Structure 1
Amino acid sequence: MGDRVFNFSPGPATLPLEVLEKAGKDVVDFQDTGIGLIEMSHRSKEFMTVAADAEANLRELMNIPQNYKVLFLQGGASSQFFMIPMNLLGDKKKATYLDTGTWSNKAIKEARIFGDIDVAFSSEDSSFNRVPEDGEYTVSEDSEYLYYVSNNTIYGTQFPTAPSTSKMLVCDMSSDILSRPVDVSRYGIIFAGAQKNLGPAGVTIVIIREDLLDTTPENVPTMLRYKTHADKDSMFNTPPCFSIYVMGEVLKWLKRQGGVEAIEKHNKEKAAMLYEAIDQSDYYRGHAETASRSIMNISFNLPTPELEVKFIAEAAAIGLNGLKGHRSIGGCRASIYNAFPRNGIEKLVAFMRVFETNNPA
């Protein structure tokens, strides 16, 4: 096997090495059963235990109340852009959305097919370089929910806290779930694609308050009803077994690190190191406003596009991979999710200093 590099990719993203090594063994022979995990029936007692343990550990780590269902769904987080309004906005009801980036923008487009959507805030005019403060927007009185994206991977912004509102919250936490504590009881729905902080692509987590399962209009197809999957414990059809298994192992790993509070401290320390390197020099410029900075995705620019190309290439040559920024804003981006190690940040910061010295603007 070749030497492992530091993987700054935004998703699919780096996973704990010990999880990958265990998964490699279990794919061939799961718990000495003589059959590989990905060959195993999803209704076997072995896999049913895997799924149950994954749910139990997620509930424990997030302190999920008993009146919430945990669903393991397919179709990616993008499918939730239409499933949420399809299930919650029958008869063209209203919802309020906060537009802070590409993923909220896509969600708004889908939601408008099903309901009356009020976009109460948008930072598009400033290239989505910030999230709103409380008081910058008004949530319509007749809105069923307030929808927001907690962390924006492309632009490197993050809500420091949940929006303050009396309305039910619905949140896309795909890129920062389990990176910090969350009061689940404030939400009607939380969802997240696994491929950033939880595991490989293929499974989407939906945490939904039980009373919302009965709000779905009659004309919604069976597979697109949350209640369909809740009633069958996510086994209505064959689930993404491998992704659920790896997610379960990541959750066990997170517990071994000390849980969400411990990983939040670790994440803040990693991000602070990189932001300090950016702020100490005029050579590097962060995209996000300081108050909106993400601790998961750090987007920054160099003096010229040509220097950015050189920076990315030279970084990759020494094992700092995946630093190319999203095509919509260019530049560089370091995605440093839960499993990203501190020594990878240290190596990047050291490289940044050397590169600035050797390549004056």
Structure 2
Amino acid sequence: MVHLFNAGPAKVPDEVKEQIQSEFFNFAGSGISVIEISHRSPEFTALMNESNVNLREILEIPDNYRILWLAGGATGLFSSIPLNLITSKDDVLDYVVTGTWSKGAAKEAEKYANVNYVVPIPADFTGVPLEESMKFTPGAKYVFYCDNETVNGIEFPHILKTDSTIVCDMSSNFLSRAVDVQKYGAIFAGVQKNVAPAGLGVLIIREDLISADRLHQVPKVWDFKLQDAANSCLNTPNVFSLYVTNLVLKHLMKNGGLKRYSELSRQKSSAIYDIIDDSNGFYACKIDKDARSRMNVTFKLASKDLEAEFVKKAADLKIEGVKGHRSVGGIRASLYNAVTMESVNYLGDFMKSFQKNHE
């Protein structure tokens, strides 16, 4: 058994993979595979509609919000969000930068609008800035932040407090806890972190934000108004990824919903953070405790050589995906919904023995 801690593409529940395997050659009684069905077929239309219903149910999405399934993942939405929402050359966009992905989103938005950095970008990311230090722009078109920074291991402990419309990237903690959707103008995610295979982005957006009154021309494939009118089928969507997404949604609802998975994520991350905190500095997590990610636990050892040995020894024991992101190094264990407590405890036991053997 391989214990997989990849940051994305990430682990899919074994029960879901077994179902994929069992019906791979015959989707919905059609006699053909899900990777072969037409996106114009009644089988796919039923799949799309069921996915929308299930996502609305699990997140309690209000009726005045639309769900779009889009190409380009979350990175594509870094561009399409400002392109679709800017209506004037004088529009200002507020960005709260807390890590690699929010920094990238802000840089992308600068191509199309006036971006205000709510707090200066720090030399090193270690947490979420105090809200009293944030300088919002009165009348900003929207305020953007990333709820969970996958690379850095930083997660907002609560929704950002602002009077402006909030746009939030929830890629790596999507469906890991309940969300009060009506407090956001838009929520988006790439599904490959915590839901399904790569290649699909999901956008949950308030209806009044979908408008043809825009400053910039928008590529057809990323035009929210056109995609909404076409039920996300303006072009051929990622059929297989949407299919797996729907299976995962049903799996989550069947197994206790977001309340249960939120508690499980707390338990899993606490198990690893406790080992780090009890290691007398052998393992070092620089992230402020109130902003430590439940999804992506990041830490470092005394040297790069020791970290390389940690990754190699882990792989020898079939622990995969724990090497830190190439831009920051260190170690990272991603504890998404599909990662079991058994795997977390296995990783924890390895961490204890590795420390014991190197002290």
- Secondary structure of 1:121's counterpart equals coil
Give the secondary-structure state (helix, strand or coil) at the position aligned to 1:105: helix
Spell out the pairing of 1:127-138 with structure 2 (5 A cutoff): 127-138=124-135
Please report how far the alpha carbon of residue 46 of structure 1 lies from its aligned counterpart in structure 2 after TM superposition.
1.2
| Amino acid in the other structure paired with 2:85 | L
1:54 is aligned to 51
Aligned AA (2:52): E
Aligned to 1:184: 181
User: Secondary structure in 2 aligned to 1:38?
Assistant: coil
Match of 1:241 in 2: 239
Q: State the TM-score, normalized to the length of structure 2.
A: 0.97
Q: CA deviation at 1:188?
A: 1.0
Which secondary structure does the structure 2 equivalent of 1:140 belong to?
Answer: coil
Aligned partners of 1:100 and 1:122 also within 8 Å: no
- Aligned-residue offset at 1:122: 4.1
Cα separation, 2, equivalents of 1:216 and 1:264: 38
Counterpart in the other structure of 1:274: 272
Q: CA deviation at 1:32?
A: 3.2
- Distance of 2:270 and 2:216 partners within structure 1: 50
2:158 to 139, 161, 169: 161
Q: Output the CA distance in 2 between the equivalents of 1:49 and 1:21.
A: 22
Q: Is the 8 A contact 1:168 1:188 kept in 2?
A: yes
Residue aligned with 2:353, SS: helix
Q: CA offset at residue 133 of structure 1?
A: 2.6
Q: Which residue of 2 aligns with 1:308?
A: 307
Does the 8 Å CA contact 1:216/1:225 hold for their aligned counterparts?
A: no
Q: Distance in 2 between the 1:110 and 1:34 partners?
A: 44
The aligned residue for residue 327 of structure 1 is 326
State how 1:93-242 maps to structure 2 within 5 Å. Answer: 93-125=91-123, 127-214=124-211, 215-217=213-215, 219-242=217-240
Give, in whole Å, the separation in 1 of the partners of 2:333 and 2:140: 36
Return 5+ residue gaps in structure 2 as ranges: none
**1: CA distance, partners of 2:120 / 2:198:** 29
Greater shift, 42-51 or 173-182, is seen at 42-51
Distance 1:222 1:33, change over 3 A: closer
CA–CA separation in structure 2 for the residues paired with 1:221 and 1:354: 53
The TM-score, its normalising length taken from structure 1, stands at 0.96
Distance 1:347 1:170 in 2: 37
Is the CA contact (8 Å cut-off) linking 2:6 and 2:322 kept in structure 1?
yes
Please tell me whether the aligned partners of residues 156 and 287 of structure 1 are also in contact (alpha carbons under 8 angstroms). Answer: no
Distance 2:330 2:108 in 1: 29
Q: Distance in 2 between matches of 1:10 and 1:229?
A: 29
SS of 2:95's equivalent? strand
SS in 2 for 1:346: helix
Cα distance, 1:124 vs structure 2? 2.8
Q: SS of 2:141's equivalent?
A: strand
Residue deviations 1:15-36, cap 9 Å, x none? 1011111112333221332111
The one-letter code of the counterpart of 1:229 is: Q
1:266-314 CA-to-partner distances (Å, cap 9, x unmatched) read 1001111010000001211113111110000000011221111111110
What code does the residue aligned with 1:351 have?
A: F
Checking the alignment, whether the CA contact within 8 Å between 1:8 and 1:321 is kept in structure 2 is yes
Letter in 2 for 1:341: T
For the residues of structure 1 that align with 2:28 and 2:82, how far apart are their CA atoms? 41
Provide the C-alpha distance between the structure 2 equivalents of 1:259 and 1:346, rounded to a whole number of angstroms. Answer: 23
| 1:29 counterpart residue number | 26
The alignment-based identity, stated in percent, is: 40
Q: How many residues are aligned here? A: 356
User: What CA distance in whole angstroms lies between the structure 2 residues aligned with 1:222 and 1:358?
Assistant: 57
Letter in 2 for 1:201: A
Give yes or no for contact 1:287–1:300 (8 Å, CA) kept in 2: yes
